[in-house]
């Protein structure tokens, strides 16, 4: 079993819809949970991070962590064509290594 599982998609949704992206993980030692966005032929950029369980909101983006279920989510409200990208979840151990999911390709249809 991989440490971090993420559905690769692609996921296509109409503009304005709410998008839900998810990851599951197997190791309860993970402490920080992050979401990165990667546009085609670019490096990943950090979108959001959370520590332990709970929700965090930033504009149209909400990150949610449920440590009891080992499940994290990213919600995008009022999705825009510019949100079309690959979204990668990531998590860290205490020894500073960042482990990534494989990424979900998202297409927002105008």
Partner 1 sequence: DAGITQSPRYKITETGRQVTLMCHQTWSHSYMFWYRQDLGHGLRLIYYSAAADITDKGEVPDGYVVSRSKTENFPLTLESATRSQTSVYFCASSEIKRKAFFGQGTRLTVV
CB of 76 to partner 1, least distance (A): 20
Residues 39 and 25: their CA atoms lie apart, in Å, by 24
Binding mask 25-64 for partner 1 (x = CB under 8 A): -------x-x------xxxxxx--x-x-------------
- Give the one residue of 24, 65, 103, 106 binding partner 1; rule: CB under 8 A: 103
DSSP characters over 41-55: TS--EEEEEEESSEE
**Footprint on this chain of partner 1 (rule: CB under 8 A):** 6, 8, 32, 34, 41-46, 49, 51, 88, 92, 96-103
């Amino acid at each position: 079993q991989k440490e971090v599982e993420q559905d690769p998609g692609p996921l296509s949704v109409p503009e304005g819809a709410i998008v839900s992206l998810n990851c599951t993980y197997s190791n309860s030692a993970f402490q920080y949970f992050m979401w990165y966005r990667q546009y085609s032929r670019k490096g990943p950029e950090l979108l959001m991070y959370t520590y332990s369980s709970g929700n965090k909101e930033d504009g149209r983006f909400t990150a949610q962590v449920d440590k009891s279920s080992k499940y994290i989510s990213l919600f995008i409200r009022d999705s825009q064509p510019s949100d079309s990208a690959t979204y990668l979840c990531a998590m860290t151990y205490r020894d500073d290594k960042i482990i990534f999911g494989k990424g979900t390709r998202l297409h927002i249809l105008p």
